[in-house]
């Protein structure tokens, strides 16, 4: 038995909360470190890589939720840890004006907490959603990622507006409000969803090592893990340098670059809706729309690198990203839910591959940017990374 669309939509508020909190370290905090604090782009790259690297714990969290037979405690506990980490990172921005060394220590702890929390909450949420959605994986995947992007848009644009005029003290206050709203949304989203649910996972006594071996021995799961790694590596290469690019090359303020990032996410939202509707009515498979999304994303990145108008190139990039995401996530949920007593473990393996690829992409992008800016003008240096 599966839940109705109303309950599924309410459950997806968890993804909106995750998207809202995760957008701040990757976009706004990265820009503040690179532009306002004039720190090397590699620094936020390393911090975001740490946040993704810690998410190698995703299989452990997924397996623990399998073993306990419930996902909600891991979702709520994980989001509380994410909120604490995001607030700590915002506090570190102000501390950096007095001592970069102290701020760095704060950031390391904060970004590690963000990674742990996202790993626990995100893996458990997807496992619960895969079980609760029944056979409607494609539509539910679209819904989940619509909420994720909507949360990122709301947090990016809302934070950008509330930050005017910018100050480190104002940043902490605004972020604290965002964190409170995100945790409250998760409580409302998961309220009584698992109570007496017929799809609630049966507790398993299989050890983690054995559960991981069983997943890796499945050739379909193993190939899909490789697909997730390669595709996400490409997907995230431009993420960490997008807002610094808007500041260095186009002279946008923190408020305006945050709004532009929100606009990119808005275009991705439209791409997800388009892919979901078209594939639902048989107008191209999810795989077809993923390929179209790859082509459009490449066109948007080349436009940014070639110095074409900023807004149209950003919209094309976001639209392509949205088309791509729906097909990949729908497949992930189908493969995970096919094994009822190992849904969390499998979702954790796929999530770990995604996290490693995203973290590696950030290091490659920011490291290459710092090297390129030593020998090239800013516009050309960013163009090199976008073209790659």
Q: Burial letters for 106-116: b for 16+ Cβ neighbours within 10 Å, e otherwise?
A: bbeebbbbbbb
Ordered DSSP codes for 196-242: T-TTPPPP----HHHHHHHHHT-HHHHHHHHHHHHHHHHHTTTGGGH
Q: Where are the domains of the chain?
A: 5-191+218-387
CA 189 to chain centroid, in Å, comes to: 19
Rounded CA-CA distance 232/325 in Å is: 10
- Out of 75-84, 119-128, 232-241, pick the least confident: 232-241
Q: Would you state the pLDDT for residue 197?
A: 58
User: pTM of the prediction?
Assistant: 0.75
Tokens of 153: 């848009």
Residue 174 half-sphere exposure, CB side, CA atoms within 13 Å? 24
**Is the pLDDT at 366 greater than 80, yes or no?**
no
Q: Would you state the pLDDT for residue 350?
A: 86
Q: Would you state the pLDDT for residue 315?
A: 93
**Is the pLDDT at 27 greater than 50, yes or no?**
yes
pLDDT in tens, 189-237: 988 887 755 555 555 667 778 888 888 888 888 888 888 888 888 778 8
**Is the pLDDT at 333 greater than 90, yes or no?**
no
**Is the pLDDT at 102 greater than 70, yes or no?**
yes
Q: Which fold has domain 5-191+218-387?
A: Growth Hormone; Chain: A; (1.20.1250)
Tokens of 295: 């082509």
Helix (H) or strand (E) holding 348: helix 343-375
Q: Would you state the pLDDT for residue 17?
A: 95
Q: Would you state the pLDDT for residue 107?
A: 95
Q: What is the mean pLDDT of residues 289-316?
A: 89
- DSSP classification of residue 36: I
**Residue 293: band (very low, low, confident or very high) from pLDDT cuts 50, 70, 90:** confident
Q: What is the mean pLDDT of residues 48-57?
A: 87
Q: Would you state the pLDDT for residue 176?
A: 94
Q: In the chain, what percentage of residues exceed pLDDT 70?
A: 94
For 354, phi then psi, to 5°, come to -65, -45
- Total Cβ atoms within 10 A of residue 349: 27
Q: What is the mean pLDDT of residues 314-324?
A: 91
Instruction: Return the higher-pLDDT residue of 135 and 253.
Output: 253
- DSSP classification of residue 195: T
Residues 341/214, Cβ–Cβ less than 8 Å:
no
**Residue 1: band (very low, low, confident or very high) from pLDDT cuts 50, 70, 90:** very low
Rounded CA-CA distance 182/300 in Å is: 31
Q: What is the mean pLDDT of residues 158-167?
A: 86
Q: What is the mean pLDDT of the chain?
A: 85
């Amino acid at each position: 038995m599966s839940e109705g669309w109303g309950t599924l939509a309410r459950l997806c508020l968890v993804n909106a909360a995750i998207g809202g909190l995760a957008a701040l370290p990757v976009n706004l905090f990265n820009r503040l470190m690179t532009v306002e604090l004039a720190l090397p782009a590699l620094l936020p790259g390393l911090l975001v890589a740490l946040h993704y690297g810690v998410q190698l714990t995703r299989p452990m969290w997924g397996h623990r939720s399998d073993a306990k037979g419930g996902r909600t405690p891991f979702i709520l506990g994980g989001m509380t840890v994410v909120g604490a980490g995001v607030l700590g990172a915002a506090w570190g921005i102000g501390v950096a004006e007095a001592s970069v060394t102290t701020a760095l220590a704060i950031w390391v702890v904060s970004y590690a907490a963000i990674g742990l929390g996202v790993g626990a909450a995100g893996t458990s949420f997807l496992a619960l959603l895969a079980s609760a959605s029944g056979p409607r994986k494609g539509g539910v995947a679209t819904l989940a990622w619509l909420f994720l992007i909507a949360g990122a848009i709301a947090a990016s644009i809302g934070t950008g507006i509330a930050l005017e005029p910018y100050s480190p003290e104002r940043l902490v206050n605004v972020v604290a409000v965002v964190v409170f709203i995100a945790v409250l949304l998760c409580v409302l989203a998961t309220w009584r969803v698992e109570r007496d649910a017929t799809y609630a996972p049966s507790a398993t006594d299989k050890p983690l090592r054995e559960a991981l071996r069983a997943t890796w021995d499945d050739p379909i799961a193993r190939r899909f893990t490789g697909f997730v790694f390669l595709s996400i590596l490409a997907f995230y290469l431009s993420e960490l340098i997008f807002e610094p690019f808007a500041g260095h090359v186009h002279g946008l303020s923190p408020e305006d670059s945050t709004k532009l990032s929100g606009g990119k996410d808005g275009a991705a939202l439209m791409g997800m809706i388009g892919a979901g509707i078209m594939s639902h009515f048989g107008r191209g498979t999810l795989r077809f729309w993923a390929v179209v999304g790859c082509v459009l994303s490449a066109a948007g990145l080349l436009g940014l690198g070639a110095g074409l108008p900023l807004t149209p190139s950003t919209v094309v990039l976001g639209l392509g990203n949205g088309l791509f995401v729906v097909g990949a996530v729908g497949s992930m949920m189908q493969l995970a839910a096919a094994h009822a007593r190992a849904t969390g473990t499998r979702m954790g393996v796929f999530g770990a591959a995604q996290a490693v690829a995203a973290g590696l992409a950030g290091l490659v992008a920011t490291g290459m940017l710092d090297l390129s800016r030593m020998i090239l003008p800013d516009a050309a240096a960013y163009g090199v990374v976008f073209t790659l």
